[in-house]
Amino acid sequence: MKYNNTLILIGPCRSGKSTIAKIISKTISKPNICLDIVGYDFIKEIYNKKDEVLYKEYLNNQKYMEWFKLTRKYEAYVVERALEEYEDCVIDFGAGHSVYDNERYALKIIKLLEPYKNIFLLFPSVDIDRAVEILMKRYDYPLHIATGEYLIRHKSYFQLSKYVIYTEKKTPKETADEILSIYNKSN
């Protein structure tokens, strides 16, 4: 039941995950769990002070890819804990919660998500270059600008998703309705 009723949204930064999650959550009367928000409490369970120094150093010196690599172990833990803690809800992953180059973390996330039926990737276009063009225009935060194209082009979004929803020229409501149509048929 847990694996059938939980709806998970993944995708790059600014792909619409949080907006669509709120619409879907309200429509089907299920809690909306945003990993970028609840994740901080889970991170506190394993946080390493040594990493805090590096974390701040990387951000202060604009070493955003190094910062991103450092956060992978924490993001994998957040996914694991959230899937243990929450069920029968709409979970919106942050952009980095689905992206792992470290094989150990990648396999862990694949295994954790494998039984879930309703994992939707929100992506602007079937054309990856067009997707990069669309999303990069939405980025204004230096971290997003620095890691954006890397995340957009990363293969893991497609590996983890069960469905891909292309959002270009669709309103958030139209996108949510498309997802709900698939979700309702699968349940």
Q: Average per-residue pLDDT in the chain?
A: 91
pLDDT at 54: 85
The three-state secondary structure class of 9 is: strand
Number of domains in the chain: 1
Supply the pTM of this predicted model: 0.92
pLDDT at 16: 96
pLDDT of 42-82, one tens digit each? 988 887 778 888 888 888 888 888 888 888 888 999 999 99
What are the CA-CA distances from residue 69 to residues 36, 61, 94, 184 (Å)? 17, 15, 15, 37
pLDDT at 53: 85
Structural domain range at position 51: 2-186
pLDDT at 49: 77
165: CATH: 3.40.50.300
pLDDT at 127: 97
What are the CA-CA distances from residue 129 to residues 126, 132, 170 (Å)? 9, 5, 19
